[in-house]
Chains A and B, each alone.
Chain A
Amino acid sequence: MSILTPAMQAAVGVDGEPRTTIVERGAIERFAAAIGDDNPAYPDVAPPTFLRSVGLAIPALPDSEAVPRVLDGGSEWTYGEPVRPGDAITFVTQMETLIEREGRMGSMLIATYVTRYTNQRGELAATQRNTLIRMPAA
């Protein structure tokens, strides 16, 4: 029996609600400290994966209660304008693809989410393509 439902499939390609966050200098400092990166460029500019911290705009996956275990498969980032303290970053996410696969841990869903991050000038700061793996309960 497939774990990929029609409601899940219908959510592919639909943008979530855009969100906007102001980038705080202290948030960059805490992020750099958490990853253990003492690059002197921080916090005047944000580390490459800092935008993970601005929050999630991933649209809810219908029927997701059947696949409660989630693993992060990886991310592909492309960079535009640097992110700096005071920037207002607007981000929107959509599920780009959703497939079912038999893996070494049983049936799983593999979803790719694309998030575009733009700054207050409308410039693209980054695009993140994130792969999430969802599995039924252990």
Chain B
Amino acid sequence: MNTQPYLDDAAVGTELPALVKEPTTRQLVMYAGASGDFYEIHYDKDFAAEQGLPGVILHGALKSAYLGQLVTGWVGAEGRLLSLSVRYREMDVPGDVLTCRGTVVERDEAAGSVRCDIWIENGAGVRTTTGEAVVALPSR
């Protein structure tokens, strides 16, 4: 965990600590079980190929979970996630190295909150997943 950020610390342009994820097919099976999403494109290579996919692909919702972890890990015990919006622009596959990043784009002093752009970059540097989060941060 990081040290607790305060509203003062989160000026526009502040970068969230990056979160690196290296998903495996095993993790997709774990996520299928934990989430109840058993769509075969996430663990059955033959089924995925029949659907015209390059192989099994990550659940979009797993990528949302990664970005949720990015933000909740940053805001710490005294911060609070108010909203999380994620768009899946490109598919991601197990075996790739995914880096979750975010940056503060707006600070609302009166509301005690900041809005962040958040995204996932794949190993080739492509932003496969984009979104935004609004978080409340404590004041000193």
**What chain B residues lie within 8 Å of A53 (beta carbons)?**
34-36
A79 to B77, CA, bound (A): 16
**Seed contacts A37-B72, A48-B81, A74-B64; 13 additional CB < 8 Å A-B pairs:** A34-B30, A34-B31, A36-B21, A37-B69, A37-B73, A39-B1, A39-B72, A40-B1, A41-B77, A48-B65, A52-B64, A69-B52, A79-B80
* A55-B36 in contact (CB<8A): yes
Chain A interfacial positions (CB closer than 8 Å to B):
27, 30-31, 33-37, 39-41, 47-49, 52-53, 55-56, 69-79, 131, 138
A79 to B66, CA, bound (A): 17
Distance in angstroms from A42 CB to nearest chain B CB is 10
* B69-A47 in contact (CB<8A): yes
From A37, A47, A70, A131, name the one whose CB has the most chain B CB atoms within 10 angstroms: A37
Distance in angstroms from B25 CB to nearest chain A CB is 13
Distance in angstroms from B86 CB to nearest chain A CB is 5
Counting from the closest, the 10 A-B pairs by CB-CB distance are A72-B60, A34-B34, A48-B68, A74-B87, A34-B30, A138-B52, A35-B65, A76-B85, A37-B69, A31-B34
A19 to B38, CA, bound (A): 19
Closest to B129 in A: A74
Instruction: Point out the residue from A30, A35, A138 that lies within 8 Å of B62, measured CB to CB.
Output: A35
**B33 is an interface residue with CB less than 8 A from chain A:** yes
